A and B are shown apart, each in its own frame.
Chain A
Amino acid sequence: MIYREAGDFKTSYAKDQQTFPIAFDRWGYFITLAFAFLVVPFIINDYWINAVVLPFLIYAIAAIGLNILTGYCGQVSLGSGGFMAVGAYAAYKLMTGFPDLNIVFVIFLSGGITALVGMLFGLPSLRIKGFYLAVATLAAQFFLVWLFNKVPWFYNYSASGQISAPERSIFGYAVTGANALPAVSYLFCLCFVVILAWAARNLTRGANGRKWMAIRDMDIAAEIIGVNPLKTKLTAFGVSSFYIGIAGAMLFAVYLGAAEVGEAFGISKSFLILFMVIIGGLGSIFGSFAGAAFMVLMPVLLKNVMVGQLGWPTDLAAHFEFVIVGGLIVLFLIVEPHGLAQLWRLAKEKLRLWPFPH
């Protein structure tokens, strides 16, 4: 009744091709953005920023990155944790090596460095596919973690191998370090998320995205119609690693403040991001957000309910958290194998007809 496309006429191709062709969607998108930029910074407290919203925004970037590679281009990667580590260590080296460099450039440069590393590790994808490629990227994960542990230059020869982010600011407001106001780091991350998500959405529906999807759907057919697999696969690895590198740099600099490669960027991180992408929905930008929200929010929510409200012992709650989150993942995948994004799509289809299905 409210959600409908009838009467929503388009008079130009540009309008017909826009991301949100239905007015209701478009307004929803603008209202969400306005709410996120204008209302949230004033009502949010430290706990919500640092425990929920920052990790959600940062993991959303990582999930978009992996979604470009796995969801759009069909190349399975288990190296996300390692690539995030590249982003984090690049950010650390840039921040300590060039103290005057603005943090925005630091983060973009870290993404760029990660993109180069990602393309290097993407080279095997030209010869191997599927599970074999997954194993090759797994090797990247272990190699990169080993490298950052082994070579002291990466952590500036500190005694413990820990890297800690020094304070950096924009317009006089600290963004990294302990003195950063929560609202400032929130807005900082939000800007990155909005710009990167917007870029990803437009990349994936342009020529590059179509090439990626052609390779994903059938690489031989794509090659025959003139898609260059070398260029296509490497751009997918590059763009994906750029996003994941930015996520790694922000996870380290803005969110954690200090990191240690084995613990913060281990294999479990690769799986976490892969879960986000699969649960959210492969080949969907919205799915990346939904998956990241699910994997970040669910444990915190469960913990607050079980420990904070019901007063259960913390160990019991921690174990139940695994059981419930694990159970929900299986349930979601059985009920809707295409992820939360597909559930959302179905809900919208139903809403178009509601309340008069036939």
Chain B
Amino acid sequence: MKMTKLAAFAATAMTMASPVLADLVFPSLSYRTGPYAAGGIPFADGYADYFTMVNARDGGIGGVPIKMIECETGYNTEKGVECYESTKGEGALVYQPLSTGITYQLIPKVTADGIPLHTMGYGRTSAANGKVFSNVFNYPANYWNGASNAVNHILDLNGGDINGKTIALVYHNSAYGKEPIRTLEELSKKHGFKLSLLAVDHPGQEQKSQWLQIRREKPDYVVMYGWGVMNQVAVQEAANIRFPMENFIGIWWSGGEHDVLPAGDAANGYKALTFHGVGKDYPVFADVQKYVVEPGNAAGAGDQIGTAVYNRGFYAAMLAVEAAKTAQEIHGVKDITPAMMRDGMEALVIDEAKMTALGMPNFGPSFSVSCENHGGPGLGGVAQWDAGAKEWKLISDFAPSDMEVIGDLIVEDSMAFAAENNIEERCK
């Protein structure tokens, strides 16, 4: 006991020694290790590279440099708590944990600490209701939008009628994978398709039985909510049972290059949703090359630039920087606090002119955030994998999801949360 106490004090002394700097602090709770690193690395690289670029090109946000603190979570909730606690004291402006499990833990904590949490395309979907969740944002799209986008795409393929068709949902057996089930159930009532649920346990390397079941039941379409190593295994298994790839649609987290490359040509035609642009054909990537890659400051190995999940991290950082700019304008202060950052996120407006000015024309949907709506418009597009060219191609526009169904579910779930935790509605 005494030895450990000594060690504890040694470590206390070390953590307390780090001085607080007047920078804009953006912590990056990343995971570059473990079974989910395949998706964690490109996201973290994109997130870091955007900040590096803004620092080198513009000297920070409104002249105040950005300091990014990276903390490895390994997609593990306990390490996530540790990372949150170790970085929040440094003046962290916004958290983006890239993990639904960690998000659920942080929601009450950030609300108590007054720090905003941005869970772009993941996390607790009902946090879109800003009346209940004051500090949580999930614009521009969430899991339920994704489920609806996938169903809408299937509707388009079938001329609007999918009555009697079967859709199988292959999902990661965790909070993340279970999120879309309610929405899909509602949609199946509405459109008359049959829903079959196939859970895959963490980490997702064992999927033989699920795909045997798919081979036996022959569903018309398979929708997948997978992450990490689970994705590539699923694509490979689908190829093994010769499931038609164009009928296999992954959520945006199942749409990385690393997910389809291992299956080679067999993955050709696999579809994945996306809520932002794919590829490197944007003027901003010239800046990345000039200010980040050439000085040798690219994050990680620097080999992820332009991949789908890298672009998502890049996009997340862009939205964070724009929100910080908005906050600086609202409050007229350069050195913003987390509370000001929250106001900036709530007043964020992203339009085409802004994105063009940033060198990212048509990179994502135009949207605005309000006090009531923290979820954005929920637009999503479909990208298809071209195994020959080894690249994703957008095959649809960013189209709306079924907000009629989703809106009701969001109100229902967020109200249940409000009742459980005695939260009063805001925005009156």
Interface residues of A (CB under 8 A from B): 32, 45-48, 50-52, 55, 96, 149, 158-162, 164, 166-167, 177-179, 255-260, 262-264, 266, 286, 289-290, 293-294, 297, 300-301, 303-305, 307-309, 313-315, 317-319
A159 near B108: Cβ-Cβ < 8 Å: no
What chain A residues lie within 8 Å of B101 (beta carbons)? Answer: 162, 258, 260, 263-264
Given A263-B76, A314-B30, A304:B15 Cβ within 8 A = yes
> With the chains together, A319 CA to B37 CA distance in Å?
12
B420 near A300: Cβ-Cβ < 8 Å: no
30 contacts between A and B (CB under 8 A): A52-B8, A52-B11, A158-B413, A158-B416, A159-B179, A162-B104, A162-B175, A164-B104, A166-B420, A167-B422, A178-B111, A178-B113, A256-B81, A256-B105, A257-B105, A258-B104, A258-B105, A260-B104, A262-B173, A262-B202, A263-B174, A289-B1, A301-B7, A308-B18, A313-B32, A314-B30, A314-B71, A314-B72, A315-B33, A317-B72
With CB as the reference atom, state the residue of chain A lying closest to B123.
Answer: A160
What chain B residues lie within 8 Å of A290 (beta carbons)? Answer: 1, 4
What chain B residues lie within 8 Å of A318 (beta carbons)? Answer: 32-33, 72, 74
What chain B residues lie within 8 Å of A161 (beta carbons)? Answer: 174-175, 178
7 closest residue pairs by CB, A with B: A315-B32, A178-B108, A178-B112, A160-B175, A314-B72, A293-B4, A258-B104
Binds A, one of B82-90, B285-293, B323-331: B82-90
With CB as the reference atom, state the residue of chain B lying closest to A167.
Answer: B421
With CB as the reference atom, state the residue of chain B lying closest to A294.
Answer: B4
User: Interface on chain B toward A: helix, strand, loop, or mixed SS?
Assistant: helix
Q: In the complex, how many angstroms separate the beta carbon of B136 from the nearest chain A beta carbon?
A: 12
B89 near A314: Cβ-Cβ < 8 Å: no
Q: In the complex, how many angstroms separate the beta carbon of A67 from the nearest chain B beta carbon?
A: 16
Task: Flag whether B125 is at the interface (Cβ < 8 A).
Answer: yes
Q: In the complex, how many angstroms separate the beta carbon of A144 from the nearest chain B beta carbon?
A: 14
What chain A residues lie within 8 Å of B111 (beta carbons)? Answer: 178
User: Interface on chain A toward B: helix, strand, loop, or mixed SS?
Assistant: helix
> Could you say which of B10, B174, B181 contacts A159, with CB atoms under 8 Å apart?
B181
User: Which positions 79-132 of chain B face chain A at CB distance < 8 Å?
Assistant: 81-82, 85-86, 88-89, 100-101, 104-105, 107-109, 111-113, 124-126
B108 near A300: Cβ-Cβ < 8 Å: no
Q: In the complex, how many angstroms separate the beta carbon of A218 from the nearest chain B beta carbon?
A: 32
> With the chains together, A52 CA to B82 CA distance in Å?
8
Given A260-B101, A260-B174, A178:B85 Cβ within 8 A = no
By CB atoms of chain B within 10 A, which of A159, A257, A263 has the most? Answer: A159
A159 near B72: Cβ-Cβ < 8 Å: no
B421 near A308: Cβ-Cβ < 8 Å: no
> With the chains together, A263 CA to B76 CA distance in Å?
7
What chain B residues lie within 8 Å of A32 (beta carbons)? Answer: 1
By CB atoms of chain A within 10 A, which of B30, B76, B107, B174 has the most? Answer: B174
> With the chains together, A297 CA to B3 CA distance in Å?
11
> Could you say which of B104, B105, B112 contacts A160, with CB atoms under 8 Å apart?
B104
What chain B residues lie within 8 Å of A255 (beta carbons)? Answer: 81
Task: Flag whether B281 is at the interface (Cβ < 8 A).
Answer: no
Chain B 256-292 per-residue mask, 1 if CB under 8 angstroms from chain A, else 0: 0000000000000000000000000000000000000
Task: Flag whether B78 is at the interface (Cβ < 8 A).
Answer: yes
> Could you say which of B72, B74, B202, B409 contacts A266, with CB atoms under 8 Å apart?
B202
> Could you say which of A47, A158, A294, A309 contacts B89, with CB atoms under 8 Å apart?
A47
What chain B residues lie within 8 Å of A149 (beta carbons)? Answer: 173, 199
A178 near B8: Cβ-Cβ < 8 Å: no
> With the chains together, A293 CA to B4 CA distance in Å?
7
With CB as the reference atom, state the residue of chain A lying closest to B111.
Answer: A178
What chain B residues lie within 8 Å of A319 (beta carbons)? Answer: 33
With CB as the reference atom, state the residue of chain A lying closest to B125.
Answer: A159
By CB atoms of chain B within 10 A, which of A262, A290, A313 has the most? Answer: A262
With CB as the reference atom, state the residue of chain B lying closest to A159.
Answer: B182
Q: In the complex, how many angstroms separate the beta carbon of A25 from the nearest chain B beta carbon?
A: 11
User: Which positions 1-24 of chain B face chain A at CB distance < 8 Å?
Assistant: 1, 4, 7-8, 10-12, 14-15, 18
Q: Given A50-B82, A177-B421, 15 other A-B contacts at CB below 8 A?
A: A47-B89, A51-B81, A149-B173, A159-B179, A160-B104, A161-B175, A161-B178, A178-B108, A258-B101, A258-B105, A259-B77, A297-B7, A304-B14, A307-B71, A315-B41
Task: Flag whether B351 is at the interface (Cβ < 8 A).
Answer: no
What chain B residues lie within 8 Å of A51 (beta carbons)? Answer: 81-82, 85-86
Task: Flag whether B352 is at the interface (Cβ < 8 A).
Answer: no
With CB as the reference atom, state the residue of chain B lying closest to A99.
Answer: B420
What chain A residues lie within 8 Å of B4 (beta carbons)? Answer: 290, 293-294, 297
User: Which positions 52-73 of chain B face chain A at CB distance < 8 Å?
Assistant: 70-72
B178 near A293: Cβ-Cβ < 8 Å: no
What chain A residues lie within 8 Å of B1 (beta carbons)? Answer: 32, 286, 289-290, 293
> With the chains together, A166 CA to B417 CA distance in Å?
10
A179 near B112: Cβ-Cβ < 8 Å: yes
> Could you say which of B11, B201, B422 contacts A262, with CB atoms under 8 Å apart?
B201
A160 near B77: Cβ-Cβ < 8 Å: no
With CB as the reference atom, state the residue of chain B lying closest to A53.
Answer: B8
Q: In the complex, how many angstroms separate the beta carbon of B58 from the nearest chain A beta carbon?
A: 25
> With the chains together, A79 CA to B186 CA distance in Å?
38
B14 near A309: Cβ-Cβ < 8 Å: yes
What chain B residues lie within 8 Å of A48 (beta carbons)? Answer: 8, 12
